Copies of this chain bind each other. A is one copy, B any other.
């Protein structure tokens, strides 16, 4: 149970469960549309837009966020290759989706997808599982944002990205950040200054190494895991 909890901490990604197999099945079931290529900082859709398509990330990173009227922003998820964007039962999108890198998206007409899902339990289950994974991720992030301090939040994020690498066969100790400090701040509910200071602190105490601002090397994974689990002593913060 402990291991399971850890493995889900702010796991913004869940490619494993919905990756290649689901994509192939969807390919053959939903009429193929030309993929959409988005420039960095370009929006896929906005909150309130009618849902015409569901998207699946083929390449790049897309951030999903909500805002308050005075501009405060909360990123609720980062979508990476394999992840679905825009799933849900409502008629309108409930959040904004913005590419944060150059990204390529597979476009699935919402109506057709709904149709297929109703007649093909297998596809329906894929979507159900994807939605379920997003709910897990959202609730884990809620625990992170609501209960962890700045250091623990960043540790949890780095670990989640490291595990993603692991699942994808990449080096789990080497993390190439596709998001800016501002994106990380809005995801973890901190300010850019605090994020920056926390990176510096983790670097200075030898937990991580910063090749440059967007390339993190994990030096002491154990410490990160203790921090994320809420087991670190006060002195280590």
**Inter-chain contact B230/A147, CB cutoff 8 Å:** no
Does chain B have a CB within 8 A of A215? Answer: no
Q: Which residues of B contact A143 (CB under 8 A)?
A: 66, 68, 74, 76
Tell me, in angstroms, the Cα distance from A76 to B145 when the chains sit together: 12
Does chain B have a CB within 8 A of A216? Answer: no
Q: Which residues of B contact A73 (CB under 8 A)?
A: 147
Is chain A's interface secondary structure helix, strand, loop, or mixed overall? helix
Tell me, in angstroms, the Cα distance from A72 to B89 when the chains sit together: 33
Per assembly, the copies of the chain total 2
Closest B residue to A17 using CB positions: B89
Tell me, in angstroms, the Cα distance from A101 to B5 when the chains sit together: 27
Does chain B have a CB within 8 A of A221? Answer: no
**Inter-chain contact B231/A70, CB cutoff 8 Å:** yes
From B17, B89, B94, contact of A128 by CB (8 A) = B89
Tell me, in angstroms, the Cα distance from A5 to B129 when the chains sit together: 26
Selecting from A21-29, A117-125, A163-171, the interface stretch reads A117-125
Closest B residue to A119 using CB positions: B121
